[in-house]
Structures are given as C-alpha cells and as structure tokens.
Amino acid sequence: MKNVILIFFILISCAISKQGFAQDKEYGIAIRLPKEYFTAAQKMNRAISAQEASPNSRNVFHITLFQGRFDQNKIDELQKTLRAQHFEKFRITFGLEIKTAQNLYINWIPKENNELKKMHHRVVEIANSYRLGILSRYIDSYGDLTKEQRQQVVKYGMPGLFDDYEPHLTLFYFDKKNSEIEKIANKISVPENGHEINCCDATTLLIAEIGYRGNIEKVLYEIELQ
C-alpha cells in the first residue's frame, strides 16, 4: 500500500510539473566563475563547438548549486532570503580533469572544495521550500533514474544533491545523446593557464532562468559573497 501511495504521489507531482503552474518557470542558483576560469572555459567550448554543427548559443559558464521550478512571483523573495545568508567568498581551483555525463554533457571538474559543498547544502535547504515542481528533463528521464535518484526527484525536484553532489562546470551540452561524446571530449585539453590558477575567489551567486539542459539563459540576480 505504501508503494502504491508513493507511485501515486510521483505521478501527480510529475503531472503537475509537466502541466506547469500559471506562473512557474525553471531557475538555477549557481556560482559565477572568476574571469580567468570563464576565459579558459570559453576556449574549450569553442574547441568543442568547432567539432559540432550546433554550438551552444545560450549559456553562461557556472557551477550549479540547485535548480528547480519556482513561482516567478516568489523569485524576488528567494533572492532576498539568499542574500540575507551573507555567504562568504571562497577559493576555487580547477585541475585538468574533464568528464562526460549521460552522453549529453562535457564537464570541467573542480578540485574538492568543502566550502562549495556547504553552500550547496544550505542553498538546497532554503530554495526547496520555494520550489513548485520537478524539472522537465527529470520528468522526461524519470524511467532511467535509479531508486535513490527518483527519491531525490520526488523530494527536491532533481537528483544529484547532498552526498551525491558532484560540482562541475559544463563546457558543452548536446540537445540529444551523443555516442561520440568521449572521442570529442578526449580532443579537448585545459588551456595552459587554466590549471595554473589556484588562488581565485568565487565571489558571486547567481539566480537565473535556465534552459532544458540546465544552461543559464538569463541572469536575474547577482548576490555578492561577503
């Protein structure tokens, strides 16, 4: 009986999210990268784009903290709540690691960072109380998720949170799964100056409208870290 109730709840949640509320939209909360990293990421994005017929046209390089469906009328309240937390600046370092995910994304991986993970935890706790539904891409891929991922989708609208959080910077995303993604990624190398930057501060938190693949399309708020 318990499983039947859970399945019913999932179906109702997905139906509501798919239909959408009258004024809901998908938003992301993310860290804007220092200029040095943005430049390095842009070079790698262009190298990937040179191999592809459809380069990414709408994206702002970032590290996602949380994404969700929110009432447009509540976004200003959410940003005020996040601003009131007085999050502190922290150092962030990227190395040479580039990984692919889901045959859709080519990501640049930052080094282990406890401050980033703590901020992620806090942002999820705050933002989830404002959330309305499930991200469209996880409604569409729900059948491909693991049991644990489905539980997070039901509770938070997306998987990959808390202990499963894997920070990354998406260099490139594909509209459809690409079986050649590993070959494409293996041709990309971090620019020489990219992995030598080891003392840059993450200084800005963003709230932005996002596209289907989680790409930032329009920055709405910038919150300076203290």
Summarize pLDDT for 59-98 with one digit per residue, the tens.
Answer: 789 999 999 999 999 999 999 999 999 999 998 888 889 9
The pLDDT of 132-148, averaged and rounded, is 95
For residue 71, the cross-strand partners are 24
Tokens of 59: 């994206």
At 84, which CATH number? 3.90.1140.10
Position 162 pLDDT exceeds 90: yes
Per the domain annotation, does 2 fall within a domain?
A: no
How high is the pLDDT of residue 191?
81
Per the domain annotation, does 7 fall within a domain?
A: no
Per the domain annotation, does 90 fall within a domain?
A: yes
Per the domain annotation, does 17 fall within a domain?
A: no
- Amino acid 21 reads F
Higher pLDDT, 146 or 9: 146
Position 180 pLDDT exceeds 60: yes
Q: Which residue carries 């891409």 as its tokens?
A: 137
d(CA 2, CA 118): 33
Q: Look at strands 131-133 and 62-71 and give their pairing.
A: antiparallel
Q: How confident is the model at residue 107 (pLDDT cuts 50, 70, 90)?
A: very high
How high is the pLDDT of residue 88?
95
Position 40 pLDDT exceeds 90: no
Spatial contact of 150 and 142, defined as CB atoms under 8 Å apart: yes
Position 17 pLDDT exceeds 60: no
d(CA 17, CA 25): 10
Spatial contact of 16 and 9, defined as CB atoms under 8 Å apart: no
Q: Count the domains in the chain.
A: 1
Per the domain annotation, does 139 fall within a domain?
A: yes
Domain encompassing residue 55? 24-224
Helix (H, G, I), strand (E, B) or coil at 32: strand
How high is the pLDDT of residue 198?
52
**Contacts with 53 (C-beta within 8 Å, 6 or more apart), sequence order:** none
Higher pLDDT, 18 or 107: 107
Per the domain annotation, does 28 fall within a domain?
A: yes
How high is the pLDDT of residue 11?
47
Position 5 pLDDT exceeds 50: no
Higher pLDDT, 7 or 45: 45
Q: What is the pTM of this model?
A: 0.88
Per the domain annotation, does 4 fall within a domain?
A: no
Tokens of 68: 């969700």
How high is the pLDDT of residue 213?
94
Q: What is the mean pLDDT of the chain?
A: 87
Per the domain annotation, does 1 fall within a domain?
A: no
